[in-house]
Structures are given as C-alpha cells and as structure tokens.
Amino acid sequence: MQAQVRIEVMGGGGTRPLPGWPPPVGERRWYLQPGRRLAETPPVASEPDHFRYDPADPTPAVGGTSLSSNSGARDNRTLEARADVLTFTTSRLEDDLEVIGPLCAELHLASSTEHFDVFARLCDVEPSGRSINVCDGILRCDSGATQPIRVELWPTAYRFRRGHRVRLQVSGGAHPRFARNLGTGEPLATGTRLAASDRTIYHDPARPSCLTLPTVVQGAADAP
C-alpha cells in the first residue's frame, strides 16, 4: 500500500512495487547488424537489408493490443517468414534481462514512396524457437521524415530469461489492427490507388540503426 505504482513483470518477473513510473533504469542500445543480428556492439560496414511492402497484400496483424480474437501474446514465426518482415535477433542471453519502461527503435530507413508506415515489434524468442510478441509501435511517415526514424513502442515490463533471445521485428504495417498505408497520400476513407514500396534499412557506422531498451541493473530488480 506504500507503493505509488505496482506492476506485474511479464515473463515470470512477478509483482513489483515502484515509487513512480517510469522507474529509474539504465538504457542499453542494441544495434542492427549484418546477418540480421542484434548486438550491443556498434555495427561494422555492411550492406543494408531490404523488403517490399504492398498494400494490396498488407502485412497482417498477429497478436498485440486489440479487442479482436487475434490479440495478446502469439507465436510470430509464420508472420516472420513473410518476405515483407525483417527480424534482427540477439545471441542467447547469458543472464536474465529485465526491460521496464518506454522503449524505441531508431531506424535509418529509406522508402521508394513518399508515404509509408514503419511497424516495429519487440519479441521474446524461446529456446524452442517460438517468437512471442512483447510490445510494438507504428509510425506514419512521409518524405520529410527525420532520420533516424524513431518508432516509439508501447512501454512494457518484461523479463527475458537466460537462454532466450531478444528480437526486433520491422515491417510496413499490421493490418487490420492498423489501417494500411496506401502509399499514395490519399485519404484512407476515400483513396482508390495503391502503391507498393521498396524499403531499405541501413546498419553501418554512419547510419547505426538500433533498439533502445530501458534495462534494470542486475541486482536492482530484487531490491526492496
């Protein structure tokens, strides 16, 4: 009853009293790497990754925060096998990793169309290979988008277990949870033209795309 905030840390972290929200945590940046890897070391010189988004066959929504039957935590492996979804994944964690608070993905991203969406999702990859969504966010962009494109993900409180992996998923949407971007700039309610777009994500020393996680320092999680 003395705590101002009480949270449940998903992933088996239990209930946690906090003096306020967000709690004081450190930030750790995980950089996109060649080979679709995610690591805390800055990226080396490398070729970018590509995908094509087609509003005529929009990237579907799988799980997440919605009022439909397709909500909550879901296995994302079928979604991640699509050509219009990119994933970047860490090595197996040597220790538990607690992420509590707001988080974001900063992506150096180019699009062949002026109007486009960027959808980013944080996933927990279990030793079995199941990829479970934790939280996500979407940003509607145009030709004036500032680089890197900053996608704010929903705040979370989650414990990634030792032996699991952290994954960042990047795509052009999550339909119909979020209305598809037509790619033409026309109003969603009346637009009739569809424009597919080619996306390029850079991860090199000059354009270090990254995922920033609010991380609890080891030992602090169990402090009173």
Q: 123: buried, middle or exposed (CB in 10 Å: 19+, 13-18, 0-12)?
A: buried
Look at residues 36, 118, 51 and name the one whose alpha carbon lies nearest to residue 82. 51
Confidence of residue 223 (pLDDT cuts 50, 70, 90): very low
pLDDT grade for 219, boundaries at 50, 70 and 90 = low
What mean pLDDT value characterizes the chain?
94
Model confidence, pTM: 0.94
Tens-digit pLDDT profile for residues 37-72: 999 999 999 999 999 999 999 999 999 998 888 899
Q: In the prediction, which pLDDT does 224 show?
A: 43
Residue extents of the structural domains in the chain = 52-185+193-215
Its sign, for the CA torsion 152, 154, 157, 162, is: negative
* pLDDT number for residue 199: 98
Reported as a single tens digit per residue, the pLDDT across 3-16 is 789 999 999 999 99
What span, in angstroms and rounded, lies between the C-alpha atoms of 116 and 200? Answer: 12
Q: Which two tokens stand for residue 130?
A: 């199941």
Q: What is the pLDDT of residues 149-203, one digit of tens each?
A: 999 999 999 999 999 999 999 999 999 999 999 999 999 889 999 999 999 999 9
Which of the pair, 143 or 12, is modelled with greater confidence? 12
The closest alpha carbon to 38, from 162, 124, 151, 159, belongs to: 124
Q: Specify the 3-state DSSP secondary structure of 77.
A: helix
* Chain centroid offset of residue 31 CA: 13
pLDDT mean over 100-127: 97
Q: What percent of the chain has pLDDT over 70?
A: 96
Class level of CATH domain 52-185+193-215: mainly beta
Contact partners, residue 185, CB within 8 Å, separation at least 6: 114, 115, 142
pLDDT at residue 68, as a whole number: 84
Q: Average pLDDT, stretch 127-133?
A: 98
